[in-house]
Amino acid sequence: MRHGTLFFVVGPSGSGKDSLIDGAKAVLGSTGRYVFARRVITRPAGSAGEDHEATTEEEFARRIALGGFLISWNAHGLRYGIPASLMAALESGQNVIANGSRAVIAELVTRVPRLIVVEVVAPPELLTARIAGRGRETGAAIDKRVARNVAQWPSTVKTVTVRNDATIAAGVERFLAALESSGKTMQLRRIPIFGGRDHCAYLPANSNIVSAFDYLGSAKLEISAGAASIRTRVQIIDLPDVLGPGGIGLSSEAFTELGAPEGSEVTIRRTPSPESRAALTHKIQGGALSEEQYHTLIRDIVESRYPEGEVAAFLVAATQNLSDDEVVALARVRTRFAPRIAWPDKIVVDKHSMGGIPGSRITLIVVPIVAAHGGFLMPKTSSRAITSAAGTADAMETLANVELGPAELRVCLEQARACIAWNGRLNHSVVDDVMNAITRPLGIDSNRWSVASILSKKFTAGSTHVIVDLPFGKRAKLKTEEDALELAALFESVGCGLGLTVQAFATDGSKPIGRGIGPALEVRDVMWALDSHPEAPADLVEKALFFASRILAWDPAIGSVEAGRARAEELLRSGAARSAFDRIIDAQGRRSPPVMPGRLMHTVHADRAGAITEIDGWAITEIARRAGAPLDKAAGVDILRTVGDTVARGEPLFVIHASAQGDLEEAARLAGSSQCYVID
């Protein structure tokens, strides 16, 4: 039989030890696994304070002589003792909770097999108020108690601290959590069961340390060995030969991930925290949460304390019902899960688009214009494509390395004043890692949730000023201009809540922007624009100038959008923006040779004459993806005719580019069965 643990509760007068012990007794007293020590004190029975065994000085001295105390001490003119009979409870495997004194810990650790000190603390002013409230002492006597200084016990004694500075209920909850997390130590065993990613812990049905059946359910179990920890679901086995009463088993993969040797002592505790459980339930039921409630809940979700089903239920509720205040709270909370990059410049700018519009690779034009201006830094981090034919990072990767680490990013900014890098290594969000793994397969999406995600990442990237593009159209994420304007207002108010300057604009997302769809073809359009080439798509150039002029207007030396527009046009026309782009490419690491559009081509022709009234850019995108984009950066679609053009029957509408014949044929078949163009 394994020995139980003596939890020796210490702390200054007024810290509330008695209240916490009484609260724990109400919860744990009936389990049979805990014994609550009744102290012997030379204080009359019935006096204010704890329920104790009263005795005289003479009787107390006689019991000491007979070895009647596990430990005893003097304090505040009284004598205190913990009965030696409690050793029998410890030897039987029960845990003992006793109110003690800091002065005797060094001696006590030599007398019991397992000791954990629970130190209860509170601010001095609160200690004074609580002591005064008891009515036993006043004035100097209270000050003396609060100022009492006790020598620290040996650092080798395991100690947990409970801060009791709120309500009694909150203090008891913290006290119980401390008991659970520190006292439930078990011996680790590897169970030869392989569950893949489905990590599982196995508790013995006859454990004398935990009530194993209390751990069944949807919540996970946290198992810690030193600094390492793992969270698993729980099963119970009634096989004493496999797992003794003091053992805990881990499935093979879980055992490997924890990395502790077999036989190690590990601690266990239920997850998640009661506070976050209450917050999750409240949100699922349609309630609103505060910033601190979101912090507690998101922390437990990120730390895998909930099963995926409960996280999914929370995310569904959150996507359906998030107030403006909650979006601000979420954004602030998310910033706590990543360190903020510090930049020397007073103004650090960034741009974001809600995306989904084929082409529209304006970032690769805006960033060089801003860099050429030189008024502030622009560390632009961008994503790769998920459902489109190219993300900004995919397009930039046809010319340069985009996988920059923090040190490489700083060097790039020093050399070129800007970058266009993949956000996977720079804006990594542990929150998104967890959330996206659930939302993407289930198709859960929320623009309001996205606002918190986007702006929190801009904040941690060190941005101070952010401009946002919100395209709207029947196939865009935002269907109407009203939707876009409403979200623009939210972006700006949440930005204000984070201390950022944010301007958001609703833009036309009814058709593709530019000619190229796919990384290399989109970059070709960008280079045409930077070179003022006659073939440069006018809509791409105009949209880039629109956003560049508003960014430049943040420079006090520019001061207005009109002056910003003139400056942006000058930088583009003079070739300064193109030179700045070359500096960015060189600073990030130029790709030589750059990726060019695929040499295998198939042209799609008009099946009738007339005016083009609509282009289904998303059908075009799917054709580009079938041709191999974005993984094949040479693949894509080159749009030859756009909305408003008049075409004859048989005239070319677009050209498919690919690197592999099979991909080209697949894309051509899809084009033949798709109604990409509406010709009136």
Domain containing residue 306: 276-335
Q: For 471, what's the count of Cα atoms within 13 Å in the CB-facing half-sphere? A: 22
Give me the pLDDT at residue 48, please. 59
DSSP 5-56: -EEEEE--TTS-HHHHHHHHHHHHGGGSSEEE---EESS-TTSSSS--EE--
- Domain assignment present for residue 487? The answer is yes
Q: Measuring CA to CA, how many Å separate 597 from each of 499, 522, 604?
A: 43, 9, 17
Domains of the chain: total: 5
- Domain assignment present for residue 264? The answer is yes
Check whether residue 259 and residue 289 sit in a common domain.
Answer: no
Check whether residue 567 and residue 515 sit in a common domain.
Answer: yes
- Domain assignment present for residue 364? The answer is yes
Check whether residue 238 and residue 369 sit in a common domain.
Answer: no
Q: Which residues contact 330 (CB under 8 A, 6 or more apart)?
A: 294, 298, 322, 449, 452, 456
- Domain assignment present for residue 176? The answer is no
State the residue for tokens 């059908």.
619
CATH number, position 472: 3.40.1030.10
State the residue for tokens 């679901």.
233
Q: Measuring CA to CA, how many Å separate 569 from each of 529, 532, 544, 558, 565?
A: 11, 10, 10, 13, 6
CATH number, position 661: 3.90.1170.30
Check whether residue 369 and residue 423 sit in a common domain.
Answer: yes
Give me the pLDDT at residue 371, please. 97
Question: Distance between CA 14 and CA 49 in Å, rounded?
Answer: 11
Give me the pLDDT at residue 622, please. 95
Question: Distance between CA 163 and CA 597 in Å, rounded?
Answer: 64
Check whether residue 622 and residue 662 sit in a common domain.
Answer: yes
- Domain assignment present for residue 340? The answer is no
CATH number, position 56: 3.30.63.10
- Domain assignment present for residue 177? The answer is no
Give me the pLDDT at residue 177, please. 75
CATH number, position 227: 2.40.40.20
Check whether residue 112 and residue 260 sit in a common domain.
Answer: no
- Domain assignment present for residue 102? The answer is yes
Mean residue pLDDT across the chain: 88
- Domain assignment present for residue 173? The answer is no
Q: Measuring CA to CA, how many Å separate 320 from each of 275, 315, 523, 567?
A: 22, 9, 38, 43
Cα 514 vs. chain centroid, distance in angstroms? 36
Check whether residue 326 and residue 433 sit in a common domain.
Answer: no
Of 247, 270, 293, the residue that ends a domain is 270
Check whether residue 31 and residue 134 sit in a common domain.
Answer: yes
Check whether residue 287 and residue 373 sit in a common domain.
Answer: no
Of 543, 563, 588, the residue that ends a domain is 588
Q: Is pTM, for the whole model, over 0.85?
A: no
Give me the pLDDT at residue 428, please. 62
Question: Distance between CA 274 and CA 278 in Å, rounded?
Answer: 6
Instruction: Compute mean pLDDT per 10 residues along the chain, 680 residues long, and list them.
Output: 83 86 85 87 78 92 94 91 94 89 92 90 80 64 62 82 82 80 77 85 79 68 82 86 84 92 83 79 91 89 76 85 93 87 92 84 96 93 86 95 90 94 74 72 77 92 95 87 95 96 94 93 97 95 97 95 97 97 97 95 95 91 95 96 94 96 96 90
Give me the pLDDT at residue 2, please. 62
Give me the pLDDT at residue 537, please. 95
For 543-599, the three-class secondary structure string (H helix, E strand, C coil) is: HHHHHHHHHHCCCCCCCCHHHHHHHHHHHHHCCHHHHHHHHHHHHHCECCCCCCCCC
Check whether residue 124 and residue 11 sit in a common domain.
Answer: yes
Of 588, 613, 645, the residue that ends a domain is 588
Check whether residue 385 and residue 325 sit in a common domain.
Answer: no
Give me the pLDDT at residue 140, please. 65
Check whether residue 318 and residue 417 sit in a common domain.
Answer: no
